[in-house]
Chains A and B, each alone.
Chain A
Amino acid sequence: MHLHFEPTPAQLSAAALAKDEVLRYASPCDLDQKGGYADGFALFTDRRFLLLIGERIAVAFDWADCLALKCEVYVGCGALVADTGEGKRLLCRFSLRHADRFCEIAGLVNEALSPAHPPAVPSTAREQYCVKCGAPLVGGTCAACSGRRVSLERFLDLCKPYILPLTVISALMLAVSFCTLYNQQVVKVVLRDFLKDATGEFAGLIPYLLLMAGLAAVNIAAAALKKILCVRLGARMSMDLRQKVFDKLQTLSMSYIGRGKAGELMNRVTFDTVAVRDFMDHCFGNLMSNLVTMVGAVVLMFVLNAKLAILAVVFVPAVLLFSRVFNRKVFRLFRAQAHKNDKIKSRLQDVISGIRVVKSFGRESREAERFNEYSRELAETNSRNEAFWAIFFPLLTLAMGLGIHFVQYFGGVDVLNGVMPVEELVQFTAYASLIYAPLRWMAGLPRMILRMLNAMDRIYGVLDEEPEIADRPDAVRHEIAGDVVFDDVSFAYTSYEPVLQNVSFTVRRGEKIGLVGASGVGKSSLINLLMRLWDVNGGRILIDGIDVRDYDAADLHRQIGVVLQENFLFSGTVLDNIRYACPGADMEQVIRAAKTANAHDFICLLPDGYNTYIGEKGHKLSGGERQRIAIARAVLSDPRLLILDEATSSLDTESEELVQQAMERLTGGRTTFAIAHRLSTLRNADRIVVLADHRVAEIGTHEELMKKKGVYYGLITAQSKLHRLPKAQS
């Protein structure tokens, strides 16, 4: 975060700071008190707060009157509120663009105000816009300010490795153009020397006919070869790109992937790379042959007959314009259609995958009605588009033919007057018709190029992104023994909503730790940090005395077994899923792991046993069955650190007991973190860590905490009370 914006000289003079007054932080502040955009600038000096609106001091506030400064974030905006001891005072308002900044400053100011405040937690939030020019940042750098190369250049870069096939394709394109143009020359000779006066010998005609046949053959062969090469090249380029994007996505941290929606990232991997392929297929492959054919035809026409040539090309701009307008309209129409199509598809998908809900609420008829409505809309759009197409496409063809009709009329007159030989007119007409088809194609060219460049832009948006969590160059690989230390750990997903504050505790190797706390208190976040899916904002986490940030991430993850709260099974067989982290495991290991998870019996009873295909997210299994497979997956690799986030929450008490006993044997000597709301799950834990209010509230054994009669005691009594309820009623 940038906390030191440079005030302009005008702002400095307006602020009129005292001689020995030190400016600590400064930031733009874009809203006024009423919530309008304003050209505000906030200055934090060592003695006071100043808000300038334009060049006028709007708010001045001495730190002497301030007990604490708080950055409050609301919906789409935030405010800095000072606690004066007698009440609250609103100092300034800003949009979310500056919220992270003000929150960090507020922390720093508080730290300076009084030692009683906790030390400020530096924010890991990144600027989203360039602080100099306001353009959105790509991977942390500003494209405009850093002079990053533009997409077209990058596209050329991308083409470099494929220079050989590109050259071959270009040569073939030239060959096609040449054949097309030269063919007309031959036709002309045949007409003039043999057909017109019917004087020539048939024998003399044969070489010409052979030549024409040869040209046609070369033309077809070259065009076919060109097409094949283009398709292949496009496919290869897009495959390479797709691989690159996918590799990159895997290295990017959770926070990036969490920010962009999963669907959007999927689009980048699939659609955008396909757009590049399409460009190679449809556009690049025709680009040169169309261009050369057209230019060649125009030149030849001028050589033959300048007057007619002018007549022929005079309509070109009109046709170009007409085609562009036409293309744009068609594009819009068909996009509307695609949009409606998507809508139907996603509705259908929703209803089908949620069919149990639809049925159980008896909403079938309402859903059918809604679907009909969408369907009708689509049909209407469809028929409107087809009607447009049916009317305007012939018109376009007519307009394009107009030039040729003129040529034929004036040329015909010339021929009748004997000014022009008839074979020349035939040749001329042929050339004239050659320019119009490429022309129409060229009218759509800018959009095709734009589409490709946009796709490239998006692809490079991902490729340029710097991973926020990256291995250090000197990352260590280390066999974990299992001592874990949380040392004053603070963490927040966004800097204005702390999730964990100053969490400290030590875990000895082999210890089983139970994590308890209200929903949303940050238990899952704590283990996310331990696994280094996110990085801490303050403090550190040590495993065997080494900061998790110093570990080689892949090596660390290899040694941690996790059952996540939202346990996710991949489409595949039960076997694939259990072996996910450890594909080399043999069948005995798999069965052992499944037995530990108390899953072996139910798996064996499935018709296809371990080879049962479980579809997307394991829909065929019950919640508890899914959990047990996830447990088997976690324990298979014999991890040094085991993390169980609500791993047995969907199991009945008996199965849970069985799993626990099995794990007990297996986890002997392994450090285990177990999160559970059902506190009975944790009764085997060596120590319980109770989180409350983003902090560690209590730590100790079950007995110690019960004696203490604190938060944990409250939770236990609550649960036993609740569990007694049904009995009391019956």
Chain B
Amino acid sequence: MTPLENVNDLLNVEQSIGVRRLSPRNAVFTPSGGFAALDVEGEHYDRVVVCRAFPFTEPDRWLSVRPADDVKHEIGLIERPDEFDEATRALLDEQLALRYFTPKILRIRSAVDKHGFSTIDADTDRGRCKFSFRGGSDAVTRLSETRVIFTDLDGDRYEIPDVTKLTRREQKKIDVYL
């Protein structure tokens, strides 16, 4: 795209603030080599990335679809993925699973503080893991009274969907961080 076209884009307010919805009526997703291709209103994209606009509050709705080679431009938004047929939904879910990885903690085995780091050993829905974060830091995000996300030293995330679902003993182990 030449700069001049860019300028026109900039001035074309309609296009830059308009919200294009993708639905079964105008969009066709097809699998391609582990990724998803998209045809919409005559445009074809070999590979698109699917992002959640509200990953915490609306994980299953409002998906933003962008070309993989130019992620700064949005192709469109899927407000309700459940309008699509089963195969497409599976494809979208697969793309989301590829992009987002946040294991859900099911059981806390231990929580240890040492040398200014806190280390949690836990079972998650993706298997067992052990991660550390700096003590007293902003590594712990409370999404709500009961929902917690830990961000470890590398930026990996681990979620406790509902703290009250843990046993009392487990809650006590992590009490200090909350």
Residues of A near any B CB (own CB < 8 A)? 31, 34-38, 74-77, 79, 87-90, 93, 95-97, 99, 128-129, 134-136, 138, 143, 148, 151, 260-261, 263-264, 267-268, 332, 454, 457-462, 710-711, 713-715, 717-718, 721-722
Contacts and interface: CB of A to CB of B under 8 A. Distances in A.
B116 A457 contact: yes
A97 B115 contact: no
Contacts of B128: 37
B137 A128 contact: no
Interface in B143-175: 152-157, 175
Contact of B137 (A79, A97, A261): A261
8 contacts: A37-B128, A88-B35, A96-B154, A96-B156, A129-B154, A136-B153, A460-B115, A713-B3
Given A88-B47, A332-B175, A721 B7 contact: yes
Given A129-B132, A714-B7, A97 B154 contact: yes
A457 B7 CA distance: 55
B114 interface: yes
B4 interface: yes
Interface in B75-128: 97-103, 113-117, 119, 124, 126-128
Contacts of B3: 710-711, 713-715, 718
Closest 10 A-B residue pairs measured CB to CB?
A: A714-B3, A37-B127, A461-B116, A77-B101, A128-B153, A136-B132, A458-B116, A718-B7, A90-B34, A76-B101
A471 B138 CA distance: 31
A461 B134 contact: yes
B32 interface: yes
Nearest to B155: A96
Nearest to B32: A87
Nearest to A459: B116
Contact of A90 (B33, B124, B135): B33
Given A88-B34, A129-B153, A718 B137 contact: no
A454 B135 CA distance: 9
A136 B7 CA distance: 49
B66 to A, nearest CB: 13
Nearest to A715: B3
B99 A717 contact: no
Contacts of A717: 4, 7
B10 interface: yes
Interface residues of B, number: 46
A76 B116 contact: no
Contacts of A74: 98-101
Nearest to A128: B153
B165 to A, nearest CB: 20
Contacts of B114: 135, 143, 457
A459 B102 CA distance: 31
Contacts of A461: 115-117, 134
Contacts of B155: 76, 96
Nearest to A75: B100
B119 A135 contact: yes
Contact of B98 (A35, A36, A129, A458): A35
Name which of B138, B155, B175 has the most chain A CB atoms within 10 A of its CB: B155
Contact of B117 (A79, A138, A267): A138
Contacts of B19: none
Contacts, number: 134
Contacts of A267: 136
Contacts of A457: 113-116, 135
A338 to B, nearest CB: 12
A493 to B, nearest CB: 12
B2 interface: yes
Contacts of A38: 127
A711 B3 CA distance: 6
Contacts of B156: 76-77, 95-97
Name which of B97, B130, B156 has the most chain A CB atoms within 10 A of its CB: B156
A99 B138 CA distance: 22
B26 interface: no
Contacts of A129: 132, 153-154
Contacts of B129: 37
B113 A454 contact: yes
B116 A264 contact: no
A278 B33 CA distance: 62
A411 B115 CA distance: 52
A138 B137 contact: no
Interface in B4-41: 4, 6-7, 10-11, 32-35
Contact of A138 (B2, B116, B119, B175): B116
Contact of B97 (A35, A128, A458): A35
A148 to B, nearest CB: 8
A500 to B, nearest CB: 18
B7 A95 contact: no
A718 B5 CA distance: 10
Contacts of A128: 132, 152-154
A578 B8 CA distance: 43
A714 B9 CA distance: 12
B132 A261 contact: no
Contacts of A77: 99-101, 156
A89 B126 CA distance: 23
B100 A95 contact: no
A714 B2 contact: yes
B18 to A, nearest CB: 20
Nearest to A272: B136
Contacts of A721: 7, 11
A260 B102 CA distance: 22
A74 B127 CA distance: 20
A263 B115 CA distance: 19
A717 B135 CA distance: 52
Contacts of A75: 55, 99-102, 157
A76 B157 contact: yes
Contacts of B99: 74-75, 77
A268 B135 CA distance: 10
Contacts of A93: 98
A134 B152 CA distance: 13
Contacts of B32: 87-88
Given A88-B34, A714-B7, A263 B138 contact: yes
Nearest to B2: A714
B134 A264 contact: yes
Contacts of B132: 128-129, 135-136
A458 B101 contact: no
Nearest to B55: A75
A264 B137 contact: yes
B34 A89 contact: yes
A97 B154 CA distance: 5
A79 B47 CA distance: 15
A316 B35 CA distance: 68
A718 B154 CA distance: 41
A96 B115 CA distance: 23
Contacts of B34: 88-90
Contact of A95 (B101, B135, B136): B101
Given A263-B138, A461-B134, A76 B153 contact: no
Contacts of A135: 114, 119, 132
A36 B137 CA distance: 28
B154 A99 contact: yes
Name which of B101, B129, B135, B175 has the most chain A CB atoms within 10 A of its CB: B101
